[in-house]
C-alpha cells in the first residue's frame, strides 16, 4: 500500500509538477527604492513510522520575499511565511559601508550554525534537522537527537532580533550578532542578551573552514531573576559549491544543554553533536530536468554527557531532480536510531519551487 502510494506520488511529481519555465524574482520600482519580489513554495508528503503514525500532506513553506534597494549603501529585506499564519521570518535593514563591514538591524539568523546559515533554497535536504513525526525523546529539546535539533532547540541558531555585523577581508569572512536570545525574534524576556560570532577562512578554491561560538542567556530561577549563560562552540569544513559536482559539509558542535539546568546553581550539562552531509550534483540538460543530485547525511548527537544512553544517530539518504536553478523535487528517508528507544523512520517527498 505504502509502496504503491509512493510510486503514485513520484509519478505525480515527475509529470504534473514539472513546469516549462521558472523565473526567479521580479524587479519593480516602488517610491524611493527598487523592489525585488520573490517567493518560495514547499509542499511535502510525509509517511512516518512512529506513534503519530500514518501519512499526511503539508504546505511546509509559502514565503513571500521583498528586497528593497535604496542605494549601494542601504537596503531592506522582509520575508513572511503565508503558509504558517503569515509569520514574519526576516525583517531587517542593512547598511553596506564596504565589503569589509556591513551592519544589519532587525530579525535575522544568529551568527552560529553553518547548516542554518545556509539558505533553505540551497540546502539539499527537506528538513535541516531531520525529524520523525510522533517521536519526542531527545532530552531538553524534544524530537530526535540530531545536530540540527540541538542547535535550533537550544536557540543557538535560527532567527532572532538584534544587531549583526559582517564582512569579508581577503580570504576571511566574519559575522557577529547580539540578539534577544528568544525564539523567532520575540521580545527579550529577562533583560539580558545573547551573543554569537563566526569566522571562516577560504583555504583554497571551494575549500572553507569555519569556527563559531555563542553565549545564550537563560533563566536559572525566574522568581528571583537569576540568569546564567550557556556556552557553545563549533568547527566546520566545506568542500565544493552548491549545484556544482561534489559537495561535502562536516561540522562538530559542543555546548551546554541549558534546558536541562536544574536551577540549583549547578552548571548545565554538556552535549555534543557531529554531522556530515555529502551530495553530488550532475547536470542533465533536457526540456524538463536540468540536474539530478543524490545525497546522504549522518548526524550523531548526545544531549547530556552526564547521563548514559541518551543520544541517537540520524541517517538520511535522498535524491533530488532540478527543474531549473534551485527549483526541484526531492525525496528523503530519515532513519533514526535512538540509543534507548529503538529505530524509527520517516519518508518525505517534496517540491521546492523558487520564484
CA–CA dist 168, 147 (Å, integer): 27
Q: Are 300 and 279 in contact (CB under 8 A)?
A: no
Residue count (the chain): 355
User: CA–CA separation, 101 vs 168, rounded Å?
Assistant: 7
| Strand, coil or helix: 16 | coil
How far apart CA 325 and CA 241 sit, in angstroms, is: 14
Single pTM value for the model: 0.89
Classify burial at 276, counting beta carbons within 10 Å of its beta carbon; exposed 0-12, middle 13-18, buried 19 or more.
middle
334 half-sphere exposure, CB direction, 13 A CA radius: 29
Structural domains in the chain, sorted by start: 41-62+114-354 (2.40.160)
pLDDT of the residue at 18: 44
The Cα–Cα gap between 300 and 231 comes to 20
**Per-residue confidence (pLDDT) for residue 189, from 0 to 100:** 75
Q: Is 130 exposed, middle or buried (0-12, 13-18, 19+ CB in 10 A)?
A: buried
Q: What is the pLDDT of residues 203-249, one digit of tens each?
A: 999 999 999 999 999 988 665 578 899 999 999 999 999 999 999 99
d(CA 240, CA 280): 10
Rg (CA), the chain: 21
pLDDT, position 99: 95
Residue 23, SS3 per DSSP: coil
* Residues of the chain where predicted confidence (pLDDT) is lower than 50: 1, 3-5, 8-22
pLDDT of residue 155: 95
Amino acid at each position: 500500500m505504502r509502496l504503491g502510494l509512493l510510486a503514485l506520488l513520484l509519478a505525480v511529481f515527475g509529470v504534473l509538477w514539472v513546469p516549462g519555465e521558472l523565473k526567479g524574482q521580479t524587479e519593480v520600482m516602488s517610491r524611493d527604492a527598487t523592489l525585488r519580489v520573490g517567493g518560495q513554495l514547499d509542499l511535502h508528503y510525509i509517511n512516518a513510522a512512529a506513534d503519530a503514525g500514518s501519512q499526511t500532506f503539508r504546505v511546509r513553506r509559502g514565503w513571500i520575499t521583498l528586497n528593497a534597494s535604496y542605494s549601494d549603501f542601504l537596503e531592506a529585506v522582509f520575508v513572511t511565511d503565508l503558509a504558517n499564519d503569515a509569520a514574519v521570518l526576516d525583517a531587517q535593514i542593512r547598511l553596506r559601508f564596504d565589503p569589509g563591514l556591513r551592519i544589519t538591524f532587525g530579525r535575522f539568523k544568529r551568527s552560529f550554525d553553518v547548516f542554518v546559515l545556509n539558505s533553505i533554497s540551497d540546502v539539499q535536504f527537506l528538513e535541516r534537522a531531520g525529524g520523525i513525526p510522533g517521536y519526542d525523546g531527545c532530552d531538553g529539546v524534544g524530537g530526535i537527537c540530531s545536530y540540527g535539533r540541538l542547535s535550533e532547540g537550544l536557540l543557538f541558531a535560527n532567527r532572532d532580533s538584534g544587531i549583526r555585523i559582517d564582512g569579508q577581508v581577503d580570504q576571511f569572512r566574519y559575522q557577529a550578532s547580539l540578539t534577544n536570545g528568544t525564539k523567532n525574534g520575540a521580545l527579550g524576556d529577562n533583560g539580558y542578551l545573547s551573543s554569537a560570532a563566526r569566522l571562516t577562512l577560504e583555504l583554497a578554491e571551494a575549500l572553507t573552514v569555519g569556527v563559531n561560538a555563542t553565549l545564550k542567556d537563560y533563566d536559572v530561577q525566574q522568581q528571583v531573576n537569576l540568569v546564567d549563560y550557556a556556552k557553545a562552540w563549533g568547527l566546520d569544513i566545506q568542500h565544493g559549491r552548491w549545484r556544482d559536482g561534489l559537495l561535502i559539509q562536516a561540522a562538530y558542535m559542543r555546548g551546554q544543554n541549558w534546558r536541562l539546568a536544574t536551577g540549583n546553581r549547578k552548571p548545565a550539562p554538556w552535549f555534543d553533536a557531529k554531522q556530515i552531509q555529502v551530495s553530488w550534483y550532475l547536470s542533465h540538460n533536457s526540456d524538463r530536468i536540468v540536474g539530478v543530485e543524490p545525497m546522504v547525511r549522518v548526524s550523531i548527537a548526545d544531549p547530556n554527557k552526564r547521563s548514559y544512553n541518551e543520544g541517537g544517530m540520524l541517517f538520511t539518504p535522498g535524491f533530488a531532480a532540478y527543474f531549473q536553478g534551485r527549483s526541484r523535487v526531492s525525496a528523503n528517508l530519515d532513519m533514526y536510531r535512538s540509543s534507548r528507544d529503538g529505530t524509527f523512520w520517516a519518508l518525505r517527498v517534496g517540491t521546492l519551487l523558487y520564484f
